Chain A
Amino acid sequence: MLEKFKSDTPLDQRQDIVICNQLNKWFGSLHVLKDVSLNVKQGEVVVILGPSGSGKSTFIRTVNGLEEIQKGSITVDGIPLSNDIADIESIRKETGMVFQSFNLFPHMTILKNITLAPIWVRKWPKAKAEKVAMELLERVGIPEQAHKYPGQLSGGQQQRVAIARALAMQPKIMLFDEPTSALDPEMIKEVLDVIKTLAGSGITMLVVTHEMNFAREVADRIVLFDFGEIIEIGTPNELFDNPKHERTKLFLSQIL
């Protein structure tokens, strides 16, 4: 496990918390990740862009072991990802994930959704877990919904609960897979605002999104995926204003 870094350390002097080396993955005969290598620094915010079907979700899901890779190596927070379930579980303790479709547990109240993992995985006493949960609900702006069920909340509120649920485990890394793609336009902002406040709080983030303005605002680096490969990596300014690669230019011209 890596030691906590000092917040005034410049990015390039921090340690790598996620190290992906030459990842390759196939779904049957479909080659979805082709020699993908990416290192992420502690506290860095990396936004992943790319056309749909280019392998963004698959990539981000390999980081916490939801997808297996066939070749390559991944190290998260100093723990090498192997087939050993104990390794995978200890990596998952340190990584929170937010899905496109929220995936809240519909049979539990919001509070139970958030406290379940801290109580059973972190072994916190119930009172502590509930206190932390309420603080997080406060932070994402919906403390009054604590005793409702997910089905009674709007999409934007559900996604904010999902963020709180992931944060309750106090992860070092947060993975977001298109967190606003399933939302009505008027709810996108409330969720993006929550994610923005997280960026720069010291937590490492990998975010797959199609929200360009948001990407430009929060990203330390942007990664562009196409056909299972990383086409280009750069700061928002480099990538948006001076794209080097033809396919980056094509992608940006289509989306902007």
Chain B
Amino acid sequence: MDKNKLLTKKPQKSPYHPSTGTLDWLKKNLFSSWLNTILTFVFATIITFIGIGSVKWIFLTANWHVISANFRLLIVGQYPIAELWRVWICLTLVSFLIGLSWGLWKGTMGHLTIAVTSMYFIVGCLPFILMETRIWLLINIAVIGATYAVGKKWSKLKKSTLIGWFLMFPITIFLLNGFGVLNHVGSNLWGGFLLTLLIAIVAIVFSFPIGLLLALGRRSKLPIVRWFSIGYIELIRGVPLITILFVAQLMLPLFLGNGIDIDNVFRAMVGFTLFTAAYLAENIRGGLQSIPRGQFEAAEALGLNTTIKMTFIILPQALRAVIPAMVGSFIGIFKDTSLVAIVGLTDLLGMGKNIISNPEFLGTQMEVFIFVALVFLIFCNLMSYASRRIEQSLGVGKR
């Protein structure tokens, strides 16, 4: 064998040549030619400088005290400390459902649960956290573990868990606001990341059914419905989000009568929902168009009426086809919530800006903005990760 190899002028390589070691890999990918070698050195130098600079800044220069001192403000805004337990109860309920869902559906939920649990854990280990917070986080981790075990054992709970998720939203709003049963906490006090999350979730949850109806309406045979849908979608898509937010702030009271006092947060939520719905409608319409005519005809030939045809045949396929596009819209809206600062709400970014302008924390923009960016980065990545997993798990038996 060896002899043969020596005799042939060039050792025969299979077209696919898996590299055997690190040295091989380095040689092939970084030093394969003169030009490559030079580029490698140039970039290595640049990266080293940036790296050293960042590390120095993060560990020596940066004043992280601004984050630790304002952590509560950044996360829950001005929500009264005495009533914070309500936020914790909400979070614990979410943990309860997450754990249960993980036990019931495994797979995708497992990864998400691990992500959430590690977030609890990391936050819980931060040095400046209050003891009370640590205890709550510990409780949450325990709840996830316990409900996971329950969900794993009782597969019959699937329906109740889904209902639980749907009830989660009204329960959260009730707990946070109080509505007279508990002490009233006006939404002018909701702030920080809590507000960001609430606006984003409301926009996502409510824009979906509206967008779905608009998408179907745009294909309707009834001219009024069709023209309304087209008009709405094109109007909203032709206007910047900020404009819509301002309009929602100013116009909503006009529409609903002067007597009713609608708070700013609610107005912003309406604005975001109406905005997202238009984009979602277009995403869903794309999915509907991708369904071959034969699917409609087969369903009709079986005698299925329009509702059943859409519910079981067309929409499942159309929505699956546009999950990436829809999650793209959701991520977009999640980030765009930072625009509410302009209409006077203090979301995560707004709170960050408030803190910077406090003379006590002069010159800490970098630290605050990096923290805000990090929070967004983590959540947006979780969303796109979830979307990829859902696509994969729905890909079974795809054509």
B149 at the interface (CB under 8 A from A): no
Instruction: Give min CB distance, A78 to chain B, whole Å.
Output: 16
Q: Determine which of A85, A165, A175 lies in contact with B302 in the assembled complex, contact meaning CB atoms within 8 Å.
A: A165
Q: Assess whether A120 is in contact with B298, with CB atoms less than 8 Å apart.
A: no
CB distance from A13 to the nearest CB of B (A): 30
Given A92-B300, A103-B292, output 16 extra A-B contacts at Cβ < 8 Å: A64-B301, A90-B303, A92-B301, A95-B301, A97-B297, A103-B295, A103-B297, A105-B299, A105-B313, A107-B320, A116-B312, A117-B303, A120-B304, A121-B304, A151-B398, A169-B302
Contact bitstring B291-318, A, C-beta under 8 A = 1, else 0: 0101101111111110010001100110
User: How many angstroms from the CA of A107 to the CA of B321 in the assembled complex?
Assistant: 11
Q: With contacts A107-B320, A150-B399 known, is A93 near B303, CB below 8 A?
A: yes
Task: List the A residue with the shortest CB-CB distance to B399.
Answer: A106
Residues from chain B with a CB closer than 8 A to the CB of A149 are 396-398
- Chief secondary structure at chain B's binding surface: helix
A105 touches B396 (CB 8 A): no
Q: Say yes or no for A166: interface residue by CB 8 A criterion.
A: yes
A109 within 8 A of B: yes
- How many A-B pairs fall under 8 Å by CB? 75
The answer, among B295, B305, B308, for a CB contact under 8 Å with A105, is: B295
Whether A148 is near chain B, meaning CB under 8 Å from some CB there, is yes
Nearest CB of chain B from residue A161's CB, rounded to whole Å: 12
Segment 175-212 of B: residues with Cβ below 8 Å from A: none
Size band of the interface chain B makes with A: 20 to 34
A120–B301 contact, CB under 8 A?
no
Given contacts A93-B303, A107-B320, contact A66 B297 (CB under 8 A): yes
A-B contact pairs, 10 of them (CB 8 A): A64-B301, A85-B305, A92-B303, A99-B301, A105-B313, A117-B302, A121-B303, A149-B398, A151-B398, A166-B301
* A66 CA to B304 CA, complexed, in Å: 13
A239 to B295 Cα, complex, angstroms: 36
Cα–Cα, bound, A152→B154 (Å): 32
Interface size class for chain A? Answer: 20 to 34
Give CA–CA (A106, B292) in the complex, Å: 11
User: Bound complex: CA of A85 vs CA of B300, how far in Å?
Assistant: 11
Q: Which residues of A contact B295 (CB under 8 A)?
A: 103, 105
**Residues of the B chain whose Cβ atoms lie less than 8 Å from the Cβ of A89:** 303, 305
Say whether A101 faces chain B, with CB atoms less than 8 Å apart.
yes
Chain A, 87-129, contact with B by CB distance < 8 Å: what is the 0/1 string? 0011011011101010111110100000011001100000000
Please name the 5 residue pairs, one residue from A and one from B, whose CB atoms are nearest each other, closest first.
A149-B397, A103-B298, A92-B303, A97-B301, A103-B294
> Nearest residue in A to B297 (C-beta to C-beta)?
A66
Give the distance in Å from the alpha carbon of A20 to the alpha carbon of B325 in the complex: 47
A116 / chain B contacts, CB cutoff of 8 Å: 302, 304, 312
Are the CB atoms of A96 and B396 closer together than 8 Å? no
List residues of chain B with CB within 8 A of the CB of A66.
297, 300-301
The CA of A64 and the CA of B303, in the complex, are separated in Å by: 9
How far is the CB of B393 from the nearest CB of chain A, in Å?
13
A93: chain B residues within 8 A (beta carbon)? 303
> Which chain B residues border A148 with CB–CB below 8 Å?
397
- Within the complex, the shortest CB–CB distance from A65 to chain B, in Å, comes to 8
B397 x A107 contact (CB < 8 A): yes
B308 with A120: CB separation less than 8 A: yes
B397–A169 CB distance below 8 A: no
State in angstroms the CA–CA spacing of A96 and B302 once bound together.
Answer: 7
> Which residues of chain A come closer than 8 Å to B317, judged between CB atoms?
105-107
* Contact present for A107 and B316 (CB under 8 Å): yes
Interface contact A109-B302, CB-CB below 8 Å: no
Assess A117 versus B304: contact at CB under 8 Å? Given A106-B397, A106-B398, A149-B397.
Answer: yes
Question: A99–B312 contact, CB under 8 A?
Answer: no
Complex Cα spacing A99 to B304, Å: 17
How far, in whole Å, are A101 and B300 apart by their CA atoms in the complex?
A: 15
- In the bound complex, residues from chain A placing their C-beta under 8 Å from that of B316 are 107
Give the nearest-CB partner of A98 in chain B.
B301
